[in-house]
């Protein structure tokens, strides 16, 4: 759920703080990569336990 909200907040600010669609896509991609990293880290932590 928080993953959706973080991407949603980027999209909401698109017309004002983000100048073009390319920047919008870059910001969303960075957020998705961050989330994938967090999920991967959580899986590794779970395997260690």
CA distance 33 to 19: 21
Report, as an integer, the average pLDDT of 21-44: 87
The per-residue DSSP string of 2-49 comes to HHHHHHHHHHHTHHHH--SHHHHHHHHHHHHHHHHHHHHHHHHHHHH-
Structural tokens at position 47? 């395997």
Chain position carrying tokens 């967090």:
38
pLDDT at residue 47 greater than cutoff 80: yes
The answer to whether the predicted template modeling score (pTM) of the entire model surpasses 0.85 is no
pLDDT recorded at residue 40? 92
The total of structural domains in the chain comes to 1
For all residues of the chain together, what is the average pLDDT?
80
* Residue-number span of the structural domain to which 27 is assigned: 2-48
pLDDT recorded at residue 46? 92
pLDDT at residue 31 greater than cutoff 70: yes
């Amino acid at each position: 759920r928080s993953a959706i909200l973080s991407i949603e907040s980027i999209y909401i600010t698109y017309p004002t703080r983000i100048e073009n669609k390319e920047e919008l896509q870059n910001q969303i991609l960075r957020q998705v990569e961050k989330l994938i990293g967090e999920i991967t880290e959580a899986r590794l932590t779970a395997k260690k336990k």
